[in-house]
């Protein structure tokens, strides 16, 4: 099916309240086509959530109209196995799992079970993670691994034995000598995914949209050497031999391991040296206990280091499995509790070139607004032009979008199949979009920048926003909009002119844009900001590569220079003189200042001498007390932090690593001494405890922003 039509029809059908009977055959074709793209091409064109919605629309419509068909994708996974591999039928079909996104539906799941079993007794469950990888089947004969198959269409799979042999955690021999089959999932850990995509980017190859596609692409390789070079992991969750009472008894008699529950079944797999969901596996004695644990287990998600797309709930008692049986699509003893999608699909309307305060020009995608993880996103940075070229994103492209670490929306990949020829490639602009100065590229760097340091309105706007912002001079009422308007009306032309705004009091009030009270408040706020600690002023200047911590070191260094050598008062002018007399070597001797930071300070002061010579006299600069070791007011150094809950798209380790690089210390429990608690989705008891101890809590967004401000 043509991808354009597929996408258009998919959108039409999943937004439709109820599917008409006449649309059922079309919907079946559509689901089949998405299956083919997902399983065979490793190149889906819709998000998982969209697929699940289409699929349940179809289930619902078939039920409503009693329109059943053994060929429907709801009855079988109708994907033709790929031609390039040899096929082989599975011993028993490899089924799918029933899906849900809500706790209410888990209750319905139990109600259905009770209905079949006709019982009111508590039912015990196991909870394990739902690996987001590629289902495969391994066959062992006399203890030897003889064959590996992909799931294929569920009935027959592709033979991938050679490729799988290179996988480090798949046992080639097992101690149990009966003919058995083990099923499970092949996944690609996050670090390995990043490494592979990095290499593909270097080689100019198409990037994998996610670790699952990468795992699939790695296993279904014609060259096993390629598979070997990628560190895949296999997790076992299915051992059909233990599901039939007779073979289960045989297993018990041969191994001395008796198995009557799924918990024991998993333990048996581990005894045969298979990796399973291990420490993320839990047993719950009844539905209530199960529901209570879902949040806490989900919170552990970041610790895994690989993708999961939900949890799988299975009835613990294996004897009940037989009773409950299977549908053509899934077993009735299990259900998947899926996480809301973090990948969304949308379209790039335009690519704009945004000029920041340091003059660097960044391509930014303006998107059809789309909901990702509960937030509407309408723009996404493409970081730089080499990234833009690597992603091959065009205006008009349909893309997958992700919110990394719940913060920065990112274009993951382009759905090139969805192109209709009207897309427009966007390259590096020749001139600054704000001031038309020809752009330059620093030698050896990727970034392009506008060299018009003092005259570019975009750099001025960005610089003024930073200057007046919360971590800068903290001038209330002087945000982006006000700065824009004051610049347009000619009230503000640089940092110093902010301090002359009072001259225009009458005009500002008469403009009737801001109320009289707001004008008063703004002017007071500006006046108050004249008294400023030196390190804060240095941060406010927005010198590239100078974060809050470096600004402190620089402030201390300057204060020392003044006290040591000068009898003169530390006026702005005096400071400026000291700055101008500093050499790059002097700057490099300052703690925390590397060559990049010192070069940056040097360049900043050289280029802006006249602007600063107007600004400094307006201020009352407060020097740090150097009898005191450092100013810790804004320092994150040595601050302790703890984490609770999970963070979409970001592992706990990643967060800890970022914070450690800012000098912070991670502690794993909440006590009176803790400085802050970072709260993610589904937080645990730590949150309650922190609140009761009055410890500051913050979301990941705020936490990362704090580190970013501190670092840069």
Q: Which is nearer to ligand IVH, 210 or 398 (CB)?
A: 210
Nearest to 453 by CA among 575, 543, 573, 546: 543
The residue behind tokens 């299990």 is 334
Residue 313, token pair as written in the block: 């709930």
DSSP state of 331: B
Site for ligand IVH in 300-329 (CB under 6 A): 312
The tokens describing 225, both together, are: 């050497």
Q: Which of 375, 216, 225, 376 is nearest to 307 (CA)?
A: 216
- Contacts of ligand IVH in 209-268 (CB under 6 A): 237-238
Q: Which is nearer to ligand IVH, 315 or 677 (CB)?
A: 315
Q: Which residue has the tokens 């590996």?
A: 148
- Residue among 562, 672, 682 nearest 621 (CA): 562
Residue 310 or 359 having the CB closest to ligand IVH: 310
Q: Whole-number minimum distance, CB 131 to ligand IVH, in Å?
A: 4
Nearer to ligand IVH, 309 or 397 (CB): 309
d(C-alpha 686, C-alpha 683), whole Å: 7
Tell me how far, at minimum, the Cβ of 151 lies from ligand IVH, in Å: 6
Q: Which is nearer to ligand IVH, 331 or 463 (CB)?
A: 331
Question: Shortest Cβ contact with ligand IVH: which residue?
Answer: 135
Residue 93 CB, shortest distance to ligand IVH, in Å, is 8
Distance (Å, whole) CA 399 – CA 348: 7
What separation in angstroms does the CA of 230 have from each of 169, 210, 217, 218, 591? Answer: 13, 15, 11, 7, 41
Q: Which of 39, 131, 193, 274 binds ligand IVH (CB under 6 A)?
A: 131
Any idea which residue has 């967004």 for tokens? 701
3-state secondary structure 629-656: CCCCCCCCCCCEEEEECEECCECHHHHH
Closest to ligand IVH by CB, 322 vs 530, is 322
Q: Which of residues 383-412 bind ligand IVH (CB under 6 A)?
A: none
135 or 356: whose CB is closer to ligand IVH? 135
CA distance 156 to 205: 31
DSSP 148: E
The nearest distance, CB 452 to ligand IVH, in angstroms, is: 55
What residues contact residue 374 under an 8 Å CB cut-off, 6+ apart?
Answer: 340
Collapsing DSSP states into helix, strand and coil, what is residue 690? Answer: helix
Judge contact between 652 and 674, C-beta under 8 A.
no
Strands 282-284 and 308-315: what pairing? unpaired
For ligand IVH, the binding residue among 81, 135, 570, 572 (CB under 6 A) is: 135
Which residues contact residue 199 at a Cβ distance below 8 angstroms, ignoring those fewer than 6 apart? none
* 8-state DSSP, 706: H
Contact letters for ligand IVH, residues 110-129 (x by CB under 6 A): ------------------x-
* Count of residues in contact with ligand IVH, rule CB under 6 A: 14
CB 196 within 8 A of CB 230: yes
The CB-of-138 to ligand IVH minimum distance in angstroms stands at: 13
What's the closest the beta carbon of residue 219 comes to ligand IVH, in angstroms?
13
Contact segment (CB under 6 A) with ligand IVH among 64-72, 331-339, 423-431, 468-476 equals 331-339
Distance (Å, whole) CA 519 – CA 477:
9
According to the 3-state scheme, what is the secondary structure of 488-512?
A: HCCCCCCHHHHCCHHHHHHHHHHCC
Residue with Cβ nearer ligand IVH (237 or 641): 237
> How far are the Cα atoms of 125, 476, 487, 500, 626 from residue 504, in angstroms, in the given order?
72, 18, 13, 8, 39
Minimum distance, C-beta of residue 53 to ligand IVH, in the bound complex (Å) = 15
The answer to whether the CB of 639 falls within 8 A of the CB of 603 is no
Binding mask 648-677 for ligand IVH (x = CB under 6 A): ------------------------------
Residue closer to ligand IVH by CB (options 212, 652) is 212
Q: SS3 for 11?
A: helix
If phi over 0 gives left and psi between -120 and 50 gives alpha, with beta otherwise, what is residue 566? Answer: beta
Rounded Cα distance between 320 and 315, Å, is 7
**Per rule CB under 6 A, is residue 46 in the interface with ligand IVH?**
no
Q: Smallest distance from the beta carbon of 160 to ligand IVH, in angstroms? A: 15
- Residue the block writes with tokens 């050598």: 565
CB 310 to ligand IVH: min, Å: 8
Output the smallest distance, CB 259 to ligand IVH, in A. 16
Q: Do residues 137 and 149 touch, judged by C-beta distance below 8 A? A: yes
Taking the least distance from each CB to ligand IVH, the nearer of 313 and 414 is 313
Element (H, E) at 457: helix 457-468
Catalytic residue among 17, 118, 130, 673: 130
Q: Please state, in angstroms and rounded to a whole number, the distance separating the CA atoms of residues 126 and 119.
A: 19
Q: Is 577 a catalytic residue?
A: no
Rounded to whole angstroms, the Cα distance separating 578 from 584 reads 13
Instruction: Reduce the DSSP state of residue 428 to 3 states and report it.
Output: coil
Region of 64-72, 94-102, 629-637, 673-681 interacting with ligand IVH (CB under 6 A) = 94-102
Contact residue for ligand IVH among 34, 36, 90, 130 (CB under 6 A): 130
- Between 73 and 363, name the residue whose CB sits nearer to ligand IVH: 73
**What DSSP line would sit under 365-405, residue for residue?**
EEEEEEEETTEEEEEEE--SHHHHHHHT--BT-EEEEEEET
Return the number of the residue (134 or 575) whose C-beta is nearest ligand IVH: 134
Closest approach, Cβ 367 to ligand IVH, in A, equals: 29
Considering only residues 179 to 208 of the shown chain, the ones binding ligand IVH according to CB under 6 A are 185
Residue from the set 61, 95, 182, 447 that interacts with ligand IVH by CB under 6 A: 95
Provide the minimum distance between the beta carbon of 312 and ligand IVH in the complex, in angstroms, as a whole number.
Answer: 4
Q: Which of 27, 97, 344, 655: binder of ligand IVH (CB under 6 A)?
A: 97
Show which residues are catalytic. 130
Q: Which residues bind ligand IVH (CB under 6 A)?
A: 95-97, 128, 130-131, 135, 185, 237-238, 312, 331, 334, 336
């Amino acid at each position: 099916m043509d991808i354009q039509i597929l996408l258009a029809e998919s959108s039409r059908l999943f937004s439709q309240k109820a599917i008409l009977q006449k649309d059922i055959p079309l919907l079946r074709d559509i689901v089949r086509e998405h299956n083919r793209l997902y399983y065979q091409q490793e190149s889906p064109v819709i998000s998982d959530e969209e697929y699940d919605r289409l699929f349940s629309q179809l289930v619902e419509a078939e039920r409503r109209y009693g329109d059943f068909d053994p060929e429907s994708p709801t009855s079988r996974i109708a994907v033709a196995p790929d031609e390039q591999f040899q096929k082989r039928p599975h011993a028993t079909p490899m089924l799918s799992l029933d899906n849900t996104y809500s706790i209410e539906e888990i209750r319905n799941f139990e109600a259905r079970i009770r209905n079949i079993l006709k019982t009111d007794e508590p039912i015990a469950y196991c909870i394990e993670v739902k690996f987001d990888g590629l289902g495969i089947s391994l066959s062992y004969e006399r203890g030897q691994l003889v064959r590996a198959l992909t799931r294929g269409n569920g009935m027959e799979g592709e033979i991938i034995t050679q490729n799988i042999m290179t996988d480090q955690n798949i046992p080639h021999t097992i101690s149990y000598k009966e003919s058995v089959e083990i099923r499970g999932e092949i996944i690609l850990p996050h670090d390995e995914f990043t490494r592979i995509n990095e290499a593909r980017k270097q080689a100019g190859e198409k990037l994998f949209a996610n670790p699952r596609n990468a795992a699939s692409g790695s296993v279904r390789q014609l060259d096993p050497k390629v598979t070997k070079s990628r560190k895949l992991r296999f997790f076992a969750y299915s051992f059909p031999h233990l599901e039939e009472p007779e073979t289960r008894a045989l297993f018990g008699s041969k191994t001395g391991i008796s198995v009557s529950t799924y918990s024991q079944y998993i333990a048996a797999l581990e005894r045969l040296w298979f990796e399973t969901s291990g420490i993320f596996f839990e047993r719950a004695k009844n539905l209530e206990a199960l529901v209570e644990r879902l949040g806490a287990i989900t919170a552990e998600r970041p610790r895994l280091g690989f993708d999961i797309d939900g949890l799988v709930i299975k009835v613990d008692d294996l004897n009940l499995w037989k009773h409950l049986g299977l549908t053509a699509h899934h077993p009735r003893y299990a259900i998947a509790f899926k996480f809301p999608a973090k990948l969304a699909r949308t379209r790039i309307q335009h690519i704009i070139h945004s000029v920041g305060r340091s003059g660097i020009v960044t391509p930014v995608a303006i998107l059809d607004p789309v909901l990702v993880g509960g937030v509407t996103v309408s723009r996404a940075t493409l970081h730089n032009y080499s990234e833009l070229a690597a992603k091959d994103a065009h205006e008009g492209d349909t893309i997958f979008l992700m919110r990394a670490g719940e913060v920065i929306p990112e274009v993951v990949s382009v759905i090139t199949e969805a192109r209709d020829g009207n897309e427009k490639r966007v390259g590096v602009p020749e001139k600054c979009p704000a001031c038309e100065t020809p752009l330059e590229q620093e030698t050896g760097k990727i970034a392009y920048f506008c060299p018009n340091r003092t005259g570019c309105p975009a750099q001025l706007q960005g610089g003024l926003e930073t200057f007046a912002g919360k971590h800068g001079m903290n001038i209330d009422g002087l945000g982006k909009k006000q700065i824009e308007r004051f610049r347009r009306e000619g009230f503000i032309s640089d940092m110093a002119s902010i301090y002359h705004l009072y001259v225009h009091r009458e005009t500002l009030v008469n403009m009737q844009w801001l109320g009289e009270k707001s004008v008063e408040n703004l002017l007071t706020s500006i006046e108050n900001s004249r008294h400023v600690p030196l390190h804060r002023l240095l941060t406010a200047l927005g010198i590239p590569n100078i974060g809050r911590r470096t600004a402190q070191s620089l402030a201390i260094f300057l204060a020392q220079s003044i006290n040591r050598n000068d009898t003169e008062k530390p006026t702005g002018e005096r400071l400026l003189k000291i700055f101008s007399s500093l050499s790059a070597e002097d700057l490099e001797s300052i703690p925390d200042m590397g060559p990049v930071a010192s070069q940056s300070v040097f360049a900043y002061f050289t280029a802006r001498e006249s602007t600063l010579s107007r600004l400094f006299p307006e201020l009352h600069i407060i020097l740090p007390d150097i009898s005191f070791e450092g100013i810790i007011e804004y320092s994150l150094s040595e601050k302790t932090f703890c984490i609770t809950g999970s963070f979409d798209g970001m592992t706990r380790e990643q967060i800890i690593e970022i914070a450690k690089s800012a000098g912070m210390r991670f502690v794993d429990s909440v006590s009176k001494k803790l400085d802050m608690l970072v709260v993610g989705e589904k937080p645990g008891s730590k949150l309650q405890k922190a609140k009761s101890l009055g410890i500051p809590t913050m979301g990941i967004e705020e936490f990362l922003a704090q580190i970013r401000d501190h670092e840069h």
